[in-house]
Amino acid sequence: MPQPESHLIDARPHTILDDTYAFYTGTALVTLGMILLKSAGLVTAGVAGIALILSYLVHLPVGLLFTLVNLPFFAFGAITMGRVFIIKSVIASSAISLALIAAAHAITITAISVPFAAIMGGTAIGVGILAIARHGSGVGGTIILSLWLYRTRGINVGIVALVMDIVILTAAAFTVTPYILLWSAISAVAIHLTLFAWHRPGRYIGY
């Protein structure tokens, strides 16, 4: 009889090199996604969405706001998720913040389609979060709470994050036009579809 896939493949722990490259890949994708969204005046899910909303209100660099918004979530993660997880999360989040600050001086997008930015930006952020999450880390913000509920209750990361992001997008309704809000919601859906499809128990053999 055919054996389950877990019996055919020897799952081995990630090496430091694996983690490093995953962090680089995830950081690059999240940063790229946020650049696209910011260029189109969009908001989105999670701490990225909160930082984008605040950047339109207080006109501070989105990279700095990304760090400030993350601080309370890191405090929660330090209590609930363990030292290794929170150290990795701080590293990943700091790398994204620095990349966003650098990008503000390195990239200028003068014209971009709002639908393109929403779909491609959301997808890039979702894949970036997934790459980092599968190496025992988060990018801060609501994903820390989502991963904690996944580990302790087995609740799907995408479902938990979706509920929280409905609240974030509701708040965004007071800062953006209905058209921008619609495409911002679509960008959030793109993020969650990625997490919902690929972040499930038994789907990943590495750890």
pLDDT tens per residue, range 14-58: 777 877 888 889 999 999 999 999 999 999 878 888 999 999 999
What's the confidence (pLDDT) of residue 2? 47
- At 9, phi and psi to the nearest 5? -120, 130
Angle value at C-alpha 44, between 30 and 175, nearest 5 degrees: 135
Nearest to residue 166, comparing CAs of 188, 149, 190? 188
The pLDDT tens digits of the residues spanning 63-104 come to: 899 889 988 888 888 887 778 778 888 888 888 899 998 988
Percent over 70 (pLDDT), the chain: 88
What's the confidence (pLDDT) of residue 112? 94
In the structure encoding, which two tokens stand for residue 104, read together? 């503000």
Distance CA 53, CA 59 (A): 10
Q: Is the pLDDT of residue 164 over 90?
A: no
**The model scores a pTM over 0.75:** yes
Predicted confidence band at 155 (pLDDT cuts at 50, 70, 90)?
confident
Average of pLDDT values for 162-187?
90
What's the confidence (pLDDT) of residue 191? 85
Distance CA 151, CA 1 (A): 32
Distance CA 84, CA 39 (A): 34
What's the confidence (pLDDT) of residue 158? 64
- At 206, phi and psi to the nearest 5? -80, 165
Q: Is 141 helix (H, G, I), strand (E, B) or coil?
A: coil
What's the confidence (pLDDT) of residue 207? 46
